[in-house]
Structure 1
Amino acid sequence: MTNPLLSEWNTPFGIAPFDEISDDDFAPALDTALAEHNAEIDAIASNSASPTFANTVEALEAAGDALDKVLGPFFAMAGADSNPKREDLQRNFSPKLAAHFAEISGNKALFERVAAVWDQRDTLDLSDEQARVLMLTHRGFVRSGAALEGADETRMKEIKGRLAVLGTQFTQNLLADERSWFMPLEEADLEGLPDFVVGAARAAGEEKEAGGPVVTLSRSLIVPFLQFSPRRDLREKAFRAWEARGANGGETDNRAIAAEILSLREERAKLLGYACFADYKLETEMAKTPAAVRKLLMDVWEPAKAQAKADAAKLTEMMQADGVNGDLAPWDWRYYAEKRRAVEHDLDEAALKPYFQLDRMIEASFACATRLFGLQFEPLDVPLYHPDCRAWDVTRDGKHVAVFIGDYFARGSKRSGAWCSAMRSQAKFPQVQTPIVINVCNFAKADPALLSYDDARTLFHEFGHALHQMLSNVTYESVSGTSVARDFVELPSQLYEHWLEVPEVLGEFATHAKTGEPMPREMLDKVLGAATFDMGFQTVEYVASALVDLAFHEGEAAADPMAKQAEVLDALGMPDAIRMRHATPQFAHVFSGDGYSSGYYSYMWSEVMDADAFEAFEEAGSAFDPERARALEQHILSTGGSQDAAELYVAFRGRLPGVEALLKGRGLAA
C-alpha cells in the first residue's frame, strides 16, 4: 500500500490525512524523505555552475518538502497525543534528524557555495528580504560549525546528536512523571472545592480509571486545587509531587540529564570561539548580551521581590488567623492569595469562572481578530489527530488565508503547557502555500468547559502566536511567521492578551454558562481592577527562573545544576514561600531543546514591548483603532523574520521602549 505521508494529499487545503496515517507509516516515510532531501542537498552542493542566489540559497529554501510533510504531522501528534509507539519513534528520530542536519550544516562544498554568494552580496541586486535570507543562511552555517575542521568538526556532530537524544529524553521523563502520578480524593476531600474543580477532578478520575475523583499534575487542575482546597495536608502532598517532577530518582530523573546538557552546550559554544553558551545564544537576539538581559531582569526583580514580601506578610497573618502556626509555605500561597483576593476585590473565582466558557473565549479571540484584521473563521469538518481537535478555515475578503486548529483539553497523552506550532508555514517560494497553524492547551475537560481568567489569557496568548503565523506575508519560509529572534517572538502573543482585558470584549463574550447573562458590570470592574493582584508572586517566580537559566549558561557549566540553582536563588534572596515557576528538573523550555536555553528571559523582554505597543492603541483612543491595527500587521505580524526585530518595532512605534510601561502594567511602579 502507498504510504499516505509520501502521497499527494487531496484534502481540503492540503491538511494531513490523519485518518489514513498510522504510526507504522512514520519510520519508512522519514527514511524516504531524508534520502530525498540528501539528494536535493547533494545536487546543490555539486552544481557545476557558479554559485548564485538562485541556484544555492533559493535552492536550499526549496529543498525538503517531503521531509516537512512527514515531520509536520509527526511532531504535532508526538507532542499533543503521544503513545508508547510515538515516544519510541521520537527517541529514534531525534538523533537521526540531528545527524542529518549536522551533515548539511557541515557540508564543506555547500558552505563554500553559500560563502561565495555571501562574498558577492553587494553586487547581486537582492531585495531586502533576499539579503536578509542570505545573511541568515550564511550565519546559520557559521554558527552550526561549518567552518570547523578535523576533530572539532567530528566533535560538533557528536554534540548535536547527543543533545537531540537528551532533549527528547528530558521531555519524555517529565511527561512520564506527570502522567503516572495522581492523588485519589474521597468525597469528604472535595468539601470547600468549587463545582468546576470537583467536575475537573471527576473527569480526571474517569480518564485515569481511578474509580473516583483525582488530582493530577496538569496545571489546569492542580493550580485551582491549591487555590481552593482547605485541606493543608492535601495541598502539601499535591504541591510536593508537582515540585518533584523530573526529580523522583530512577529512570525518569532529569537532574543528570540537565547537567550533561549544560556541559555539552558549553563545549559547543567554545568550539565556535565563544566564551560561554549565553554569549553564543544571545548574539542573534535583540538583547545581544547577557549583561543586557541581566539588567532587564534585575530592574524588575527588586520591585517585584519587595511587593512579594509585603504580600507574604499579609498572607501569613491570614494563615495564623486560621490557627495555622509557623511560616507561610509554597502550598499555602495560592490558597490564602485566593482568600485575600475575595476579600480585597470581592472576587470569587468560583462565581467568576462560569463567565469564562471555553467556546465563548474562542469566539472572543476570533472576534478581536475580525475587528482588527478583517479575518473570518468558518468551522472545517476534516479528520484530525484527536477527536478533541477542531479546525477552522480562516479567510479575509472571501480569500483563504490559513487553516487554524485548536486542541484545548488536557489528557494523559499530551505534554504539559500550551504552545503554537505550524504544521505548514506561509511562503510564496517555490510555490504559494498558506499556513496550517495549531494551538495546543491543557484546559480541564468538563461540560461545559470553563476557564479561569489565567486560562483565558493563555488562550489569547497562543492565538497571538497563531496570528503571527496566519498573517505572515513573506516570500521565503525560513523567515515566515514566528521565525524571528526568540526575544521578539513573544511580542505578538503577549500583546494579544491585552484584548481580553478590553471591557467591551468581556462585556460581549463573558456570558454565564447556565443563564447566558453577560457578566455584571460590577463583576467586570472587579476583574479588571484585580488584573495586577498577586503580581509580586507571579513576577518573582518567573524572573527567578529566567535568572537561573541565564546563570546556567553565562559561565562554566555547573556539574550540579541543583546546587547552582540554590546558589542563584540564595544570592537573590528568593522569598521562602515562592518557588521558581520551572525548577531545573522540569524546565522543559530550557532543557527539551535549545529554543529557550539562555532565553527564558525573552517573555519579559517581549513584555516590555507589548506593554508599550498596547499603549499605542490607548493613545489612539481605541483598542481597535484601524490605523494602529494596520501598522501592527504591516510592521510586525506580516513580516516574520524578514527584517531585524528592532527595526520592525521602531517602524511600528517610532522608537524602542523602556521598562516603565511594563512596571506600570504589572502594578510594580513606584
Structure 2
Amino acid sequence: MTNPLLDNWSTPHEIAPFDQIEDAHFAPAFETALTEARAEIAAIADDPADPSFANTIEALELAGKQLDKVLSVFFTVAGADTNSKRQELQRAFSPKLAAYSSEVYSNKALYQRIETLWEKRDTLDLSPEQERLLYLSRRSFVRAGAALEGAEEARMRDIMSRLAELGTAFTQNLLADESGWHMVLAENELEGLPDFLVNAAREAGQEKDEDGPVITLSRSLIVPFLQFSPRRDLREKAFRAWAARGANGGETDNRAIAAEILQLREERARLLGYDSFAAYKLDTEMAKTPEAVKSLLMDVWAPAKAQAEADAATMTDMMQQDGVNGPLEKWDWRYYAEKRRKAEHDLDEAALKPYLQLDRMIEAAFACANRLFGLEFERLDVPLYHADCRAWEVTRNGRHVAVFIGDYFARGSKRSGAWCSAMRGQAKFPREQGTVVINVCNFAKGNPALLSYDDARTLFHEFGHALHQMLSNVTYESLSGTNVARDFVELPSQLYEHWLEVPRVLEEFATHAETGEAMPKAMLDKVLEAANFDMGFQTVEYVASALVDLSFHEGKAPDDPMAKQAEVLEELGMPHAIGMRHATPHFAHVFAGDGYSSGYYSYMWSEVMDADAFEAFREAGDAFDAATAKSLEENILSTGGSREADDLYLSFRGRMPGVEALLKGRGLAA
C-alpha cells in the first residue's frame, strides 16, 4: 500500500490530498519521515567536507521536509477536527518529537560545524539574509542547550521530553472539559435571547444529540448568552462552568500539570545560565527584559482599572434598580454592559448582528487585501479535512501567491479559540514555493452564519496573520512569514483589525441577512462610536492574565500556581466582577506549549505598534493609501524574520512608538 502522506502530491498547488488520508496513515508516515529526518541530520553532521553555508546551513534548511509535510497535516486535523485516535497519536508523537529535537540540538558535530561557520562568517561572502539565517541557527542551538555536557545535557533532554508530554495533556484536558459540558435550555429559558443566539443554540443542540437548544462552552455561544440572558441563575451556572475549565478535579484537571510545567521551565532556564525562565524567554524578544514588560503593562493597568471601576459602579446601580442586591458578579458584567451599551449608545447587538454575515465579512477581509496589496481570491474546489472548510487560490497580477483555507465554525472536535498556521511556508530555496495558510475560528453556525462585532474583529485579526504568511518574500522558509519575535508577530494581525473600522468597508459589506440593505448610517455611526465601549473591562482581564503569566516565570517557579495567581490579583487590586481572560487551568497560550509562555504580554506590545502604524494611513489621509500600503508590505509583511523586528518597524515608521497611541486607541486617555 502506498501512503498518501509520503507521496508526491499532484493536487492543485500541492495541497494535502485530504480525501485520501486516513488516521491509519499517520503513524507509519510519521515513523518513516522521522527515520529519514534523522538520516539527513546525520549526513550533515558526518559530512567529511569542511563546513560551508551550503553543506551545513542550507542542508539543515532542507532536512526533515518530509517530516514537516506529515506533521503539517496531522497537527492541522488534531487541532481543528480531533478524535480519540488523533489524540492518542498526539500523545505518542509528542515525546518522540521532543527526543528528535534534543538529538539534533545536542549533536556536537553538527553544532561544531555551525560554530566554525560563525567564527569565520566575515569571510563567507554571505548575503544579509544568509548572515541572519546563520545567526539564528547558531542561536537556536545555543538556547536549546547544544553547549551543555554530560548530566546537564541528559537532564535537558529529559526536561524537553516531559514538557512535550505535559503540553499535549494540558490541551487535551481542556478540550475534554470544553466538549464535555453543555446546558440544555427549556423553551421558557430562551426568554430575552435574540433569534441569532436561539438558532445557534438549536444548531449546537443537534450536534450534541439533544432535543432542544443548548449552551456550550464555545465562546461564540457562551458570551452572547451571558450578554442577553435575564436569568441570573443560568448565567451563574454557565459562567462557573466556563471559568472551571481545567480545574474540575479528576483526570482532566490541569492544575498539577501547570505546576510541573513551571518548575521544569525554571530548571531549563537555569541550566542555560539564566536567572529565570522569563529572562531566558525575553532575551530574544523586542522587550528584552521582564522589567520592560512589566513597565508597559503597569502603564496600561492604572487607567484601565480606573475605567473598569467606574463602569462597575454604574452597572451596580443598574442591577440594584432591577431589584438585585449584593455586589456585581462576574456573571453579571456582560449582561449589564450590554444593557448599558444599548442605553448609552443606542446600540443593540441583536439588531447589529444580522448586518455582520460571515460570508460578507470574509468578502470584506478579501476586498481590503485587494485594495491594499492587489491580492485576488478565487474559490478552489479541492477536498479538505472537514465539510466546513473552504479554500481559495490567492493571486496577484495573475501570478499564484498562496492557498488560503478557512475553517470558521465551532464544533466539539475543535479546540477553542482562533488561530492561523502555515501548512507550508513561503520560500525561494531550493525552489519557489507559495504558502498554504489556514485560519481556524469558532463561530456559531447559522443559516446564514452571523457574527458579533468581536467575532468580525477576530476574523480580520486572523486574516492579518494570514497576510503576513501570504506576502512573505524571502529566500529561506525558516525566516518566512510569522517566523519573527513573539512580541512582533501580533503586529500585522492587530493592525489589520483597523480596516474593519473603516466606514466605507462597513458601508459596503455590512448588509442585512434578510433584506440585503446596507447598515443604516445611524447604526454605522453608533458602531464606530462604541468601538471602545467596555474597554476598561477588556483591558483589565487581558493585562491581569499577562501579569500573572509574567509572575509565574520571573523567579522561582511557584509550588502552587493557583495560590500565586491569587496573590498577583490581590496585589493588583483586581476588580471583583472581572476575572482573568485566561485563568491558569485553561491558559492554553501559556501551558499548551512554549509559544506564549512569559509572552502573553506580546499582544499589547504589538498593539503599541499597531496603533501607531495605522496612524501612518491616517496621516496619509486614506486608509488605503497606496504608498503607505507598499511600505507596510516591503518593510514588515514581506520580510518575515530576515531582519530584527525593531529595524523593520523603524524602516516603516521612522521611529518607535510610545504607549500614548495605545491608550488613546483604547479610549483610556484624552
Instruction: Give me the whole-angstrom Cα distance separating, in 1, the residues matched to 2:200 and 2:21.
Output: 32
Q: For residues 106-255 of structure 1, what are the structure 2 equivalents within 5 Å?
A: 106-255=106-255
Whole-Å Cα distance in 2 between the matches of residues 319 and 331 of structure 1? Answer: 12
Q: Which residue of 2 aligns with 1:9?
A: 9
- Which runs of no fewer than 5 residues in structure 2 stay unpaired? none
Distance in 2, Cα, partners of 1:350 & 1:466: 30
Compute the displacement of 1:64 (Å). 1.2
**1:650 alignment partner AA:** L
2:139 is paired with a residue whose SS is helix
Residues 153-552 of structure 1 correspond to what in structure 2 (within 5 A)?
153-552=153-552
Q: Per-residue deviation at 1:83?
A: 0.3
Q: Cα offset for 1:92?
A: 0.4
Deviation at 1:125, TM superposition (A): 1.4
**Counterpart of 2:332 in structure 1: which amino acid?**
D
Q: 1:12-36 CA deviation, whole Å, 9 max, x = no partner?
A: 0000000000001000001000111
Instruction: Note the C-alpha offset of 1:584.
Output: 0.1
Distance in 2 between residues matched to 1:31 and 1:68, nearest whole Å: 12
Alpha-carbon shift at residue 613 of structure 1 (Å): 0.0
- Three-state SS of the structure 1 residue aligned to 2:487 is helix
TM-score, structure 2 normalization: 1.00
What residue identity is the alignment partner of 1:200?
A: A
| 1:633 counterpart = 2:633 | yes
After superposition, give the CA deviation of every residue in 1:431-485 in whole Å (9 maximum; x if it has no partner). 2111000000000011010000000000000000000000000000111100000
Q: SS state of the match for residue 525, structure 2?
A: helix
Question: Displacement, 1:122?
Answer: 1.2
Task: Say how many residue pairs are matched.
Answer: 670
Letter in 2 for 1:546: A
The Cα offsets for residues 286-337 of structure 1, whole Å up to 9 and x where unpaired, read as: 0000000000000000000000000000000000000000000000000000
The CA distance in 2 between the partners of 1:445 and 1:411, in whole Å, is 9
Q: 1:25 & 1:547 partners in 2: Cα distance? A: 43
In 2, the alpha carbon distance for the partners of 1:346 and 1:483 equals 43
Q: CA RMSD in A?
A: 0.4
Distance in 2 (CA, whole Å) between partners of 1:109 and 1:637 is 36
Paired residue type of 1:518: A
- Tell me how far apart the structure 1 counterparts of residues 296 and 195 of structure 2 sit (CA, whole Å): 41
1:618 corresponds to 2:618: yes
The Cα offsets for residues 318-373 of structure 1, whole Å up to 9 and x where unpaired, read as 00000000000000000000000000000000000000000000000000000000
Q: Structure 1 unaligned segments of length 5 or more: list them.
A: none
- Counterpart code for 1:429: F
Q: Which residue of 1 aligns with 2:602?
A: 602
Letter in 2 for 1:143: R
Distance 1:579 1:444 in 2: 24
Cα distance in 1 between the residues matched to 2:563 and 2:430: 51
Task: Note the alpha carbon deviations across 1:531-558, whole angstroms, 9 max, x for none.
Answer: 0000000000000000000000001000
Equivalent position amino acid for 1:461 in 2: H
Tell me, in whole angstroms, the C-alpha distance in 2 between the residues paired with 1:365 and 1:195. Answer: 26
Q: Are 2:63 and 1:63 aligned?
A: yes
Q: Distance in 1 between matches of 2:110 and 2:202?
A: 57
Aligned match of 1:586: 586
Give the drift of 1:210. Answer: 1.3
Q: Give the aligned residue type for 1:22.
A: E
Indicate whether 1:564 and 2:564 are aligned: yes
> 2:43 and 2:430 mapped to 1: Cα distance?
17
The one-letter amino acid paired with 1:279 is A
Identity fraction in percent: 77
Aligned-partner residue type, residue 104 of structure 1:
V
Report the AA paired with residue 618 of structure 1: R
Deviation at 1:129, TM superposition (A): 0.6
How far apart are 1:430 and its partner, in Å? 1.4
**Whole-angstrom distance in 2 between the partners of 1:293 and 1:82:** 36
Alignment of 1:649-664 (within 5 A): 649-664=649-664
Question: Matched residues in 2 for 1:56 and 1:114: separation?
Answer: 7
Q: Secondary structure at the match of 1:87?
A: helix
Aligned equivalents of 1:578, 1:272: Cα separation in 2? 38
Q: Distance in 2 between the 1:469 and 1:447 partners?
A: 31
Secondary structure of 2:146's counterpart equals coil
